[in-house]
Chain A
Amino acid sequence: MTETGALASGTWLHPSLLLILGTLVIPFLRGRVQQGYRLLLSLVFLWVVWTIAPGTYGSLQFLGLDLVPGRVDTLSLVFAYVFSLITVIGTIYSLHLKDNVQHVAALIYAAAAVGVVFAGDLVTLYVFWELMMLASVWLIWRRRTPQSYAAGMRYLLVHTASGVMLLGGIALFYTQTGSIAFEQIDITGPAFYLILIGFMINAAVPPLHAWLSDAYPEATVTGAIFLSALTTKTAVYVLIRGFPGTELLVWMGAVMALWGVVYAVLANDIRRLLAYHIISQVGYMVAGVGMGTAIALNGSASHAFTHILYKALLFMGAGAVIHMTGKSKLTELGGLYRYMPYTFLLYMIGAFSISAFPLFSGFVSKTMVVEAAAVDYRMWIWLMLSMASAGTFLHTGLKLPYFTFLGRDSGLRPQEAPWNMLLAMGIAAFFCVFIGVYPAWLYGFLPAPVDYNAYTLDHLFWELQLLLFTGLGFFLLLKHVGGEPKISIDTDWLYRRALPATARWVGDRGGAAWQGLLTLSRRSIAAFVTGLARHHGPGSVLARTWPTGSMVLWVAIILAGSLLIYYV
């Protein structure tokens, strides 16, 4: 660590810059050399990030502003650590792949994400923010299906809007405060909301979340790993940094946690189901940010850390299934555990982690956020988060594996996933268990000192009770309804039976309303475009070649107008 510190006093090589420059070589390498190089590059990146000592590195002038590209403190390090770790895992997972565009895009994407968390000022942040968007969209497009192209377009559109709001907010912030330092955004007025909404779009906070569940399932098998890990979690980081204690976020987060779970009911595509659970899990983090207490922020940061690992593991498992079978629908899969036992096992470790089973990583981080709600006496928030927890287990821990790996035989006879996929999943699974068993390791580098023990009796009882009854409900219903279980789980042993029903009712109505809104807006957009084309299209009044006389008429009008204005 001292070496890097000493280096910092001289010139500092930004790890993102190192990685971006490193990727430029990739297109010129082939075969095994390229595989080795990519692995080496990601490992070097990992090493550089993990050996950075906290401090402020590098400063430069740009547009007359003081940029701080390297603000390294405990908060940014938590995120940088896990981003670099997932870069290595994702690289291993995609070793077999021969698509230079994806390799370059994925690594630049990772570099940009680390750039965002190290950014000490808003302009640097914005630059990396846009770079993330530009790089990540290729991970969707390179699936090369018409659906992925359209989904990528929508993804780009939403994130451009988020970038525009962010830039507008930053410019306004700068004119108001005269500073672009990225600390807590403590001003009032439009700048606050513009920046907040810009961040919230990337965090997929409903109702600005639709891009995520739309785009991620259409991404490439390997690209989805990076996508699931980076975009929303950088947004969580910037929210922790910029908006801790914003009351609005508590409720948004809690709604989000439930929203993702409710919508996952409708999902048939395995990766769409997982994508909805990203929204749900990020909801915990957003709620933690909103509560803003030390334990809540710690909870958000640690949950982001563990979430990236187990969600990547889940996406890798689903990706392996898609890679080996070419199918991605729950209704088309089934009985795969005999042919892909390792994938199944590793997937289940991820599923236990996301469901917060004791001894798995989710348990030590998610309970921290839930606990933060409890110590703040936020009963409703606590309830909503707990309920979402049950739903998570139901979908990712029971429904998805049941219909994919167990259940009725689908007739598919795939091979086990290739070694590199299993290795990548193995590494992620190791961390899931390691953190669950030895949480002190994770707590050791959280932003605030941790005075929290996940393994208390009441935590264990509460969590196990929640999970076991959810499981019981699932299998009981499974028996009754046969092959196609309705996910109307009996949660009346939970406080009220009505709550989830209400949530679902709102979800369904919300979904219908959303669809209606979409149709309506699609129609009005179509009308709008037709109108635009009528006036602006080729041959229309604004675009056609005018007779010279009419042009001169315009000149006369403008001249007469000017004279009139000047004389009056």
Chain B
Amino acid sequence: MIEHHLPALQVLLPLFAAPLLMFLVRWPTLAWALTTAVCWATFLVSALLLEAVWAGDPISYAHGGWEPPYGIEYWVDTANALVLLIVSGISAIVMPFARDSVEQEIPRDRIAWFYTAFLLANAGLLGIAITGDAFNIFVFFEISAIASYALIAMGRDRRALLASFTYLIMGTIGTTFLLIGIGFLYMMTGTLNLADLAERLPAVRDTSTIRAAFAFIAVGVSLKLALFPLHLWLPNAYTYAPSMVTVFLSATATKVAIYVLLRFFYSVFGVEFSFGVLPMGYVLMPLALLGILIPSIVAIFQADVKRMLAYSSVAQVGYIILGFSFASTLGLMAAMLHLFNHAVTKAALFMALGAIVYRIGSTRIDAMAGIARDMPWTMAAFVVGGLSLIGIPLTAGFVTKWYLLLAALEAGLWPIAVFLLATSLIAVIYIWRVVEAAYFRERPAGAAPVREAHPALLLPTWTLALASVVFGIHTALPIGAATRAAEILLGGYP
């Protein structure tokens, strides 16, 4: 019976565990242990879900027995099962890392609160991905966002507060736009169920209300996924958040928002409407190209590695958006693939950085001079992640680069292929700056001695670093899932 309720468990596990943690304020280690257990359980659930939809049909789960489209429906197919796996997988892997890192960065009496917020954010993101109801998407967006504001505000740097506040304003605008768009859709169709919407929209789609709805949803979600030039909240939020939060959010939050955009564009509005009637391809592609180029160059000039990686994240979002702006199966597949590969790669990088911060207490490149000798394993993990970010063969990043290239060439856009190859060189430069500092410079005189990071920090870091290599060689899982996800998204709701 339990497997029948897996979709509900996916969200309810973290959602209900979160308030429980508030009773554990005095026992932070226990709070951590409980969070870890919940995260691994949700990971297991999402793995089971992916397995179930991989072979069989999509799962439709009616909450409380209210049949869709009247009740709230959870809908799982390969496309969002992959997203669920990314979110729950990253949170599960980050938890062993969190213990030491959080203990150092968060005051002891707030650790339980921290994990409460973390689980809520987790539940929100999982909810966005799994639900088949438009209004539910808005609700879960707000749950995850409000929890994220709290998480970011707990950063040690006082600027974290301002960063969180800015994120709050921008995030609220984003979700409000989304709500306005959903309201328009409801007004015209009288339904909130995504599959039902997809069915009823063609009849009314030539109205200006639907076009306005499209615009509000597109801009609102683009804000959440940090599409250039709506990314301005992201660098500060990622830079000043606690290490563990940055790892988690960078790998999951923008990815889930991208998934929502894909769902609306491809499944709800339909590819013909989004890219045929409305010239979405022409809107997204230039923004994606600018979004790759400018943040990449900005990243080169950053003195703070965390900020540099944050800008790199904006650029990577650009690659994903570029992939799906081709509106082809291959392009969409490349986008889904990069969703997965970038989550793994960037999480590995931010985690390695977190381990460095744990030892030297700073994220500045200058402070990292010469640490490779004392922290060889941490830096090696950083290099592996960096190679994957650049897209060196036999890493996950190369696989994405290859498919993006093919998609660009398939669309006959060879200048974009050249552009892709050229911008991957920019990543070489900014990753190199860190490698150069850590491997080739001497420790500054009088700097405190540094030891290799704790195994509890190293193990999850290396798990992800190795994953970014394994998924570059053994590509069956990500490519299979991404291909099926692309087919499903293009096919719309059955």
Contact = CB atoms under 8 A, between A and B. Distances in A.
A130 interface: yes
Contacts of B223: 555
Residue from B214, B219, B440 with most neighbouring chain A CB atoms (10 Å): B219
A28 interface: no
A554 B301 contact: no
Contacts of B230: 551, 554-555, 558
A563 B217 CA distance: 11
A500 B85 CA distance: 69
Interface in B213-254: 214-216, 218-219, 222-223, 229-230, 232-233, 235-236
B418 interface: yes
Nearest to B394: A127
A175 B330 CA distance: 12
B170 A175 contact: no
Residue from A174, A537, A551, A567 with most neighbouring chain B CB atoms (10 Å): A551
B211 A567 contact: yes
Nearest to B174: A555
Interface stretch (B33-41, B105-113, B320-328, B422-430): B422-430
B463 interface: no
B208 A533 contact: no
Interface string A172-200: 10110000000000000010000000000
A175 B230 CA distance: 34
Interface stretch (A214-222, A373-381, A540-548): A540-548
Contact size range, A: 35 or more
Interface in B398-435: 399, 402-403, 405-406, 409-410, 414, 417-418, 421-422, 424-425, 428
A149 interface: yes
Given A149-B440, A174-B406, A555-B173, A64 B479 contact: yes
Contact of B399 (A63, A550, A552): A63
Contacts of B409: 171-172, 175
Contact of A551 (B233, B297, B303, B440): B233
B29 interface: no
A551 B170 CA distance: 8
Interface in A547-566: 548, 550-552, 554-555, 558-559, 561-563, 565-566
A134 interface: yes
Nearest to A539: B301
Contacts of A487: none
Given A167-B405, A558-B230, A566-B211, A545 B278 contact: no
Contacts of A537: 298, 301
A141 B301 CA distance: 24
B298 A543 contact: yes
Given A171-B402, A175-B410, A565-B283, A160 B425 contact: yes
Residue from A164, A190, A532 with most neighbouring chain B CB atoms (10 Å): A164
Contacts of A341: none
B287 to A, nearest CB: 9
A292 B243 CA distance: 60
B392 A130 contact: yes
Nearest to A559: B219
A164 B301 contact: no
A182 to B, nearest CB: 15
A471 interface: no
B177 interface: yes
Interface in B141-200: 165-166, 169-170, 173, 177
Contacts of A545: 166, 232, 235-236
The 8 closest A-B pairs by CB, nearest first: A127-B393, A537-B301, A562-B215, A171-B405, A175-B409, A566-B211, A536-B297, A543-B298
26 contacts: A63-B402, A63-B475, A64-B479, A127-B393, A130-B393, A161-B425, A164-B421, A167-B405, A167-B421, A171-B406, A175-B410, A532-B297, A536-B298, A536-B300, A543-B301, A546-B232, A550-B232, A551-B233, A554-B229, A554-B232, A555-B170, A555-B177, A558-B219, A559-B219, A566-B212, A566-B278
Given A141-B440, A171-B417, A566-B214, 10 more contacts: A62-B473, A63-B479, A126-B393, A168-B421, A537-B298, A538-B303, A542-B298, A543-B311, A565-B279, A567-B211
Interface of B: 165-166, 169-170, 173, 177, 208, 211-212, 214-216, 218-219, 222-223, 229-230, 232-233, 235-236, 278-279, 283, 294, 297-298, 300-303, 311, 392-394, 399, 402-403, 405-406, 409-410, 414, 417-418, 421-422, 424-425, 428, 440, 473, 475, 479
